[in-house]
Amino acid sequence: MNKKDIIKKALQDNHLDKENILNKILYEDEIPQTNLISPKQKRSRFVYSCISIIVGLTLGIITSYILITDIFLDDSKPTEPIKPIDYNNETIQIMVLGIEENNNKAVIEHSFIKDEQNLVLKIITGTPGVQINADKLTAIIKNSGEAFELSDTVLDEVADITYPKPLDVDFIFEKYYIPAVNARYENNNGTIVIVEDEPGEQLSLEELNLVKKVIDSKNTEEFYCVNIICFDPEIKTSDLTAPEFTDNIGTASTSFATSEFVRKHNLKLAAELINGYILLPGEIFSFNNIVGEPTIPEGYSQSPIFENQKNPFESGMFGFCHVSTTLYNALLYGGFEIIERYPISQRVTYVISGMDAAVVYDDEKDLKFKNNFDVPVKIVSTVSTAESTITIEIKGINKNKDIKYSFSSEKTNSFTQSGKNYEEYTVYRTVTKNNIIIEDKKEFYKNIYLVFLK
């Protein structure tokens, strides 16, 4: 056993006194087993005790000094600060490029998938893009030197975040909006057929706005579904009746008994061209477009026509205005919407004054009307040579059989202008429903006619 072990064991056993231990340490003598001590031994032990106390105190002071010096004093040489790395150093450039490659990410915009089977629009939320700011990152590396570490804090500082574009509700709604298609009639080479309706589709605006609100909050799921709502058109297939041309909606008949042969010839050709013409609901009829330009190669003949001169006749294609006037009267009695109409320059005798309609191809004077009924209509034109009459009927399904139209006119003014005499005639309309007057002789329109001097 060495000395340290002995002291330790002695203290543990606690059966030896300190003086015996000190004797053992100093003289390496055996610890006496007797209690008889001589005066000389007592003096020696006293001296030794004093010495041990002094030695112990001295060692304690030295040890304390060393500990205090280690704790509070730092006699080491000051360390040199880490030198910043040069901005142009190739190492920095390589580090920045590597960080950019590993962290840059392009923004992914929101996308849409239409599920036709389940009638939903799947909105797949986009993801933000990340772009490392090379200038900021380089500055941080340069200032940090070799102690640089790429932490989340550094990334937050140097990363520029680009979010997907906000949902444009109006744009999305319009993009996926499909208008309903009304059932309608079509003219298939003279045969009227019914084309079935097609339902429309639109997104639920309520759900679409809710999805936008959630996505804008940046607290989003991977995708959202918006219901597609189907809706019916205004006119369904079941609303249309099979086309029939049995009812007489409007009719007019005029006489050409006093006309010469050439005029009758032209009149018959024009009447044949409009005969059987079918107008679908909403369609507009143009007399000049259907009859065309009256030329000799087309089979027409020259005949007298009205002109605004003293001599009311000169060579031309006469007879067309007689047909257009008869058609115009049939339209008025049928309640059709007149789009375009011009009066003849002089009063005619085959209709009441003010109820005529001029057509001149070169001067672009036309007779146009719209089929404002919800069923197809057909123009039926009949020329009776024996009776010298032309009759025009507008045929179809008359849903307004209880409504009747009647017209009257009267001269309301006469005047002279630039050496020419004119007369004004006002046309009045009366409308009855179930024989009850609902519009009594209401002014319809005015016409100005040139009065020729004989």
- Condensed to tens digits (0 to 9), the pLDDT of residues 178-205 reads 999 999 999 888 888 999 999 999 999 9
CB atoms within 10 A of CB 255: 16
Report pLDDT digits (tens) over 32-78: 444 445 565 566 666 666 676 776 676 667 666 655 555 555 555 55
CA dihedral 48, 49, 52, 53 (to 10 degrees): -150
- Res. 337: pLDDT tops 70: yes
How does pLDDT run across 76-124, given as a tens digit for each residue? 555 555 555 554 578 888 888 998 899 999 999 999 999 999 999 999 9
pLDDT of residue 68: 59
Per-residue pLDDT for 442 more than 70? yes
pLDDT, position 154: 86
Q: Which amino acid is it at 168?
A: D
- Owning domain of residue 375: 247-451
> Where among 72, 107, 122 does a domain terminate?
72
DSSP assignment string, 248-266: EEEEEEEE-TT--HHHHHH
196-205, 298-307, 362-371, 443-452: which is most confident: 196-205
Q: Which residues contact 340 (CB under 8 A, 6 or more apart)?
A: 366, 367, 368
Within this chain, do residues 202 and 156 fall inside the same structural domain, yes or no? yes
The dihedrals phi and psi of 256, each to the nearest 5 degrees, come to -125, 35
Kind of pairing between the strands at 403-417 and 389-396: unpaired
pLDDT value of residue 221: 80
The pLDDT of residue 350 is above 90: yes
pLDDT at 311 over 60: no
| Count of domains observed in the chain | 3
Do residue 297 and residue 407 come from a single domain? yes
| Candidate from 22-31, 165-174, 297-306 with smallest mean pLDDT | 22-31
Query: Is 160 among the domain residues?
Result: yes
- Same domain, yes or no: 296 and 402: yes
Q: Which of 179, 207, 231 is the last residue of a domain?
A: 231
- Are 205 and 261 within one domain? no
Q: CA torsion sign, 25 to 27 to 30 to 33? A: negative
Residue 239 lies in a domain: no
Residue 312 has pLDDT above 50, yes or no: no
159: β partners: 132
436 and 333 together in one domain: yes
